Amino acid sequence: MKTVISTEKAPKAIGPYSQAIRAGNTLYISGQVPINPETGKIVDGGISEQTEQVMQNIAAVLEEANYTFDDVVKSTCLLSDMVNFAAMNEVYGKYYPENPPARAAFAVKELPLGVMIEIETIAVKL
């Protein structure tokens, strides 16, 4: 059985997809971009500010589904430029101080709305 997870505390989907899907004990969170859900706009600033907003959006979806960052087992970080990797990593690491999840991070040609980062997340209740 699959359950659609949705919260007003994270940006609304900008296409035909759900913020997250729970299937059994696994939560699949769609790629989150740095949109402030209160304003509907991309946050001002650089990669650090954008990564912080993305992580806050992930936190909101996790919370709505009754998961935490401790339940995250895999992240995929898409960057507009690998020059931003170190700054992204610094912010990202604050959310996983111990036992971080598996992760892939790579640069792509372009991201939705011209943002610098998008992160998709998988969490599991063990």
Q: Hey, where are the domains in the chain?
A: 2-124
Per-residue confidence (pLDDT) for residue 14, from 0 to 100: 80
How big is the chain by its Cα radius of gyration, in Å? 14
Q: How far apart are CA 55 and CA 106, in angstroms?
A: 17
Is residue 105 within 8 A of residue 79, CB to CB? The reply is yes
Superfamily, domain 2-124: RutC-like (3.30.1330.40)
Distances (CA, A) of 8 to 25, 36, 60, 110: 22, 11, 9, 26
Q: How far apart are CA 43 and CA 21, in angstroms?
A: 25
Kindly give the confidence (pLDDT) of every residue in the chain, 126 residues in length, as a single tens digit, with 9 standing for 90 and above: 899 999 999 999 888 999 999 999 999 999 999 999 999 999 999 999 999 999 999 999 999 999 999 999 999 999 999 999 999 999 999 999 999 999 999 999 999 999 999 999 999 998
Per-residue confidence (pLDDT) for residue 13, from 0 to 100: 87
